């Protein structure tokens, strides 16, 4: 394998990672669009959404992955909506500062991760998928089947998501509630229900991401926080108000991260990504990707 | 005359503060010296009277370290209103720097501690001047990833022991009772830090910091150098956290990246939240509560992290001003009952000064 083929492979790995992170970034953007909150429990949406994978799509039962996906999405949705009803909505009603709600969400994240860990014992579990077979060899570049599945699955999900967001009344009401909560209420939108739906949609996307990651890197109860941080960096770098921008940001972060890990050293990927975040946030807080909907009001000091 | 006009004014201010949901703004900050002396007395007497056994002394040592940590975090978040999840990273940097200077460069301990403190202060000023101008939500994400990045770097550097950790050479080898020694090694600095934090409230800088936390825009309009103070608070807070880290390295004799991960950041946050964000004593109360709790309720010991997450949720949901807030509401309720009683007995005299 020559240099070029190797580079292509690294690129492919980066695209795969970027896609999966991109889904989580989109899930963060959905919640932010509707509630102007940073959902620090996003990682737990991924984790809870893929518990079904651990329980159902166990090694040897590859075909059950699809069942696990559906069950996972349902579980993730139930989890996210209950969390929204129990924690977020009451705090909203009190009128506390957004940062307090964000901290409470962090508390939920820790609570969930630790709770699941107690219930299911720590340690990585394996999840099987229909695509863990022999990789394809395309012109000297080794392409794992799962990577293709990720790219196709994520592509489908993002398209579906954007259709929902731009073309349906649900998408419109999500954006309306986020942009002007009281105004939305005035024109008759059920703000509470829309916010719950935002969390539900967010969890569905995150669950898919979880089901795609888990066969590759295993499932742990504590997998959430690391994924969430990377997804946040991606969303902030790309542009947190626009799901496509966030997705592209995730691609950049994914490719960059894999490239640094392989070509330089795994030691450097976290600090460099952190530096990228700081630079972008300081000089282009609305994200690298130019976007019409650039209101970073709540994020500025 | 029943009371001076000065007491009346502060009563009125307290009443409107309670109505606004803020713990009272009582002006007993002048008593801080007495309060610290009382605490120091308790610290000195405790080993002889209440906790003669080594295990409890170890718990108390840990408690003192965490009190320093939560006071430092309260100064940053409760007073100045700056959220930073990177606090545990500063804690870790203090521990690692001091140990590193001793093991690698063979410096004496006081010098190592001084150098480590300086290193952390420089880092804090540098990082702070870059990120503190961001809004709260940005700051939260940035500091969270900062913490993660720092811990990852430390755990990858084999010279610092990597994931397995590093044993810390003890500063003072020859000691008759190691547990008592550690106890006072943590206890005395704790009293000092408490004194500093309490005294800070009555100084101009302390009040400016509090003003910035309450309303940065109004503070800037009053001529307070908001940006500069924020960096100073961040530096002070990080320095205190690093100080706690150095003490921890000594009393624990062993440090590893896992003690400084996001989990301990959450613990510190939970301590300050449950104690009461806006008060120094709240930090003390919160730390005491969360350290003593696993000792009292034994089954909770394994569920530590779970409890901390739950605490964060429940406190903000049901008691946003924490333990100190509850105490204040009780106090206020009691004094209002007393007022009502006095008014009813004095109503026949028709007194005007109430």
Q: What is the CATH number of the domain that holds A149?
A: 1.10.3470
pLDDT on residue B75: 92
Instruction: Give the residue from A93, A98, A99, A105 with the most B CB atoms within 10 Å of its CB, the best one to mutate.
Output: A99
pLDDT on residue B101: 85
The number of distinct structural domains making up chain B is: 1
pLDDT on residue B108: 79
Cβ–Cβ gap B266/A233 under 8 Å? no
> How many beta-carbon contacts under 8 Å exist across A and B?
137
- Cα separation of B57 and A135, whole Å? 59
- Spans of chain A, pLDDT less than 70: 1, 291-301
Residue range B170-194: mean pLDDT, rounded? 83
Report DSSP state, residue B166: E
The number of distinct structural domains making up chain A is: 1
Domain that holds residue A93: 3-299
Residue range B339-352: mean pLDDT, rounded? 68
B204 within some domain: yes
pLDDT on residue B243: 94
pLDDT on residue A256: 94
pLDDT on residue A232: 93
pLDDT digits (tens, 9 = 90+) for B183-241: 888 999 999 999 999 988 888 999 999 999 888 899 999 999 998 999 999 999 999 99
What the block records as the tokens of B351 is 């007194």
CATH number at residue B181: 1.10.3470
More confident position, B188 or B171:
B188
Cβ–Cβ gap A301/B216 under 8 Å? yes
CB A122 within 8 A of CB B327: no
Q: How far is A299 from chain B (nearest CA, A)?
A: 5
pLDDT on residue A296: 46
A232 to chain B: closest CA residue: B141
- Cα separation of A131 and A120, whole Å? 26
pLDDT on residue A212: 92
Residue B16, pLDDT > 90, answer no
Q: How confident is the model at residue B2 (pLDDT cuts 50, 70, 90)?
A: very low
pLDDT on residue B13: 63
Cβ–Cβ gap B156/A266 under 8 Å? yes
What average pLDDT is seen over chain B? 82
B242 within some domain: yes
pLDDT digits (tens, 9 = 90+) for B123-158: 999 988 888 888 888 888 888 888 888 888 888 776
Cβ–Cβ gap A110/B320 under 8 Å? no
pLDDT on residue A251: 95
Taking residue A11's Cβ as centre, other Cβ atoms within 10 Å add up to 14
110-129 of A, contacting B, C-beta below 8 A: 110-115, 118
pLDDT digits (tens, 9 = 90+) for B39-82: 888 888 877 777 778 888 888 899 999 999 999 999 999 888 88
The pTM (predicted TM-score) of the whole model is: 0.84
pLDDT on residue A129: 82
B345 within some domain: yes
Least confident interval from B61-75, B167-181, B215-229, B339-353: B339-353
pLDDT on residue B298: 67
Among B144, B152, B306, beta carbon nearest to A114: B306
pLDDT on residue B346: 67
H-state helical runs in B253-352:
262-275, 280-296, 304-318, 322-346
Give B263's contacts in chain A (Cβ within 8 Å): 110
Domain that holds residue B39: 30-349
What the block records as the tokens of A174 is 């999500």
Q: Complex ipTM, two decimals?
A: 0.80
204-223 of A, contacting B, C-beta below 8 A: none
B25 within some domain: no
Residue B105, pLDDT > 90, answer no
């Amino acid at each position: 394998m020559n240099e070029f083929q190797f580079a292509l492979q690294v690129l492919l790995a980066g695209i795969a990672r970027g896609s999966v992170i991109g889904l989580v970034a989109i899930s963060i953007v959905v919640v932010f669009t509707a509630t102007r909150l940073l959902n620090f429990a996003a990682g737990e949406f991924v984790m809870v959404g893929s518990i079904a994978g651990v329980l159902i799509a166990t090694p040897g039962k590859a075909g059950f992955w699809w069942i696990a996906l559906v069950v996972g999405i349902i579980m993730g949705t139930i989890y996210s909506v209950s969390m929204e009803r129990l924690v977020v909505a009451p705090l909203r009603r009190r009128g506390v500062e957004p940062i307090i709600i964000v901290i409470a969400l962090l508390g939920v994240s820790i609570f969930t991760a630790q709770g699941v860990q107690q219930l299911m014992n720590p340690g990585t579990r394996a999840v099987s998928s229909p695509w863990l077979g022999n990789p394809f060899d395309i012109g000297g570049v080794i392409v794992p089947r799962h990577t293709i599945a990720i790219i196709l699955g994520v592509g489908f999900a993002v398209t579906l998501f954007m259709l929902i967001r731009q073309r349906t009344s649900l998408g419109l009401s999500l954006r309306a509630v986020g942009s002007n909560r009281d105004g939305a209420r005035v024109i008759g939108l059920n703000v509470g229900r829309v916010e719950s739906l935002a969390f539900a949609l967010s969890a569905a996307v995150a669950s898919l991401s979880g089901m795609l990651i888990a066969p590759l890197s295993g499932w742990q109860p504590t997998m959430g926080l690391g994924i969430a941080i990377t997804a946040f960096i991606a969303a902030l770098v790309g542009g947190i108000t626009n799901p496509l921008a966030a997705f592209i940001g995730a691609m950049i972060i994914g490719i960059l991260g894999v490239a640094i890990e392989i070509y330089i050293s795994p030691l450097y990927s976290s600090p460099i990504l952190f530096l990228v975040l700081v630079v972008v946030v300081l000089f282009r807080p609305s994200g690298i990707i130019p976007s019409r909907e650039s209101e970073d009001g709540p994020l500025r000091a | 005359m029943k009371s001076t006009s000065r007491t009346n004014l502060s009563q009125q201010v307290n009443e409107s503060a309670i109505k606004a949901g803020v713990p009272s703004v009582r002006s007993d900050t002048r008593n801080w010296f007495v309060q610290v002396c009382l605490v120091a007395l308790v610290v000195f007497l405790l080993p002889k009277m209440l906790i003669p056994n080594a295990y409890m002394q170890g718990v108390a040592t840990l408690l003192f370290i965490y009190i320093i940590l939560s006071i430092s975090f309260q100064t940053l978040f409760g007073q100045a209103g700056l959220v930073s999840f990177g606090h545990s990273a500063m804690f870790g940097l203090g521990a690692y720097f001091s140990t590193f200077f001793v093991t690698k460069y063979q410096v004496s301990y006081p010098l190592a501690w001084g150098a480590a403190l300086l290193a952390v202060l420089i880092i804090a000023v540098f990082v702070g001047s870059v990120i503190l101008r961001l809004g709260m939500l940005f700051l939260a994400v940035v500091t969270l990833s900062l913490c993660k990045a720092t811990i990852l770097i430390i755990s990858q550097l084999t010279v610092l022991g990597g994931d397995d950790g590093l044993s810390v050479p003890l500063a003072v080898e020859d000691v008759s009772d190691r547990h008592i020694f550690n106890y006072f090694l943590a206890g005395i600095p704790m009293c000092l830090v408490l004194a500093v934090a309490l005294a800070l409230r009555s100084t101009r800088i302390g009040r400016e910091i509090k003003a910035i936390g309450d309303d940065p825009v109004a503070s800037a309009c009053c001529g307070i150098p908001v940006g500069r103070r924020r960096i100073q608070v961040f530096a002070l807070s990080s320095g205190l956290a690093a100080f706690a880290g150095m003490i921890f390295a000594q009393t624990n004799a062993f440090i590893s990246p896992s003690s400084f991960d996001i989990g301990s950041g959450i613990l510190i946050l939970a301590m300050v939240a449950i104690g009461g964000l806006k008060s120094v004593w709240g930090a003390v109360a919160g730390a005491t509560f969360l350290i003593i709790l696993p000792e009292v309720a034994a089954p909770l010991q394994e569920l530590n992290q779970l409890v901390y997450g739950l605490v964060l949720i429940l406190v903000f949901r049901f008691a946003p001003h924490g333990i100190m807030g509850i105490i204040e509401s009780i106090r206020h309720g009691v004094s209002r009952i007393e007022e009502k009683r006095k008014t009813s007995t004095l109503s026949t005299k028709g007194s005007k000064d109430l």
